[in-house]
Homo-oligomer: A and B are copies of this chain.
Amino acid sequence: MNEKGILYLIPSPLSEAPVQDVLPQALLDTLPRLRRFVVEEVRTARRFLSRAGLKGHIDELAFYELNEHTDAATIEGYLSLFEDGCDVGLISEAGLPAVADPGAALVALCQKKGIRVHPFAGPSSLMLALMSSGLNGQCFAFAGYLPAKTDERKQALKALEKRSSAHRETEIFIETPYRSDALLGDLLGVCAPHTRLCLAVNLTAPDEDVRTKTIEQWKKEKPVIGKRPCVFLMLA
Contact = CB atoms under 8 A, between A and B. Distances in A.
A210 B6 CA distance: 12
A98 B137 contact: yes
Contact of A134 (B109, B134, B136, B138): B109
A157 interface: no
A139 B127 CA distance: 14
Interface string A102-137: 011101111110000111011110111011111111
A100 interface: yes
Contacts of A223: none
A139 B134 contact: no
A134 B26 contact: no
Contacts of A136: 104
Q: Can you tell how many copies of this chain the complex includes?
A: 2
Interface stretch (A15-23, A37-45, A175-183): A15-23
Contact of A107 (B20, B105, B131): B131
A97 interface: yes
A110 B139 contact: no
Contacts of A26: 18, 20-22
Interface stretch (A57-65, A77-85, A140-148): A140-148
Interface string A4-25: 0000010100000010111111
A93 interface: no
A212 interface: yes
B107 A138 contact: no
B21 A117 contact: no
A21 B198 CA distance: 31
A169 interface: yes
A24, A110, A140, A212 — most chain B CB neighbours (10 Å):
A24
A96 B131 contact: yes
A22 to B, nearest CB: 4
Contacts of A123: 121
A122 B25 CA distance: 12
Interface of A: 9, 11, 18, 20-26, 96-101, 103-105, 107-112, 117-119, 121-124, 126-128, 130-144, 169, 198, 203-204, 208, 210-213
4 cross-chain pairs, A with B, having the tightest CB-CB distances, nearest first: A108-B134, A141-B141, A121-B123, A107-B134
27 contacts: A9-B132, A20-B26, A21-B24, A22-B26, A96-B131, A98-B131, A98-B137, A99-B130, A100-B138, A101-B137, A104-B133, A104-B134, A104-B135, A105-B134, A108-B212, A109-B134, A110-B134, A111-B134, A117-B134, A118-B208, A119-B210, A121-B122, A124-B124, A139-B143, A139-B144, A140-B141, A141-B169
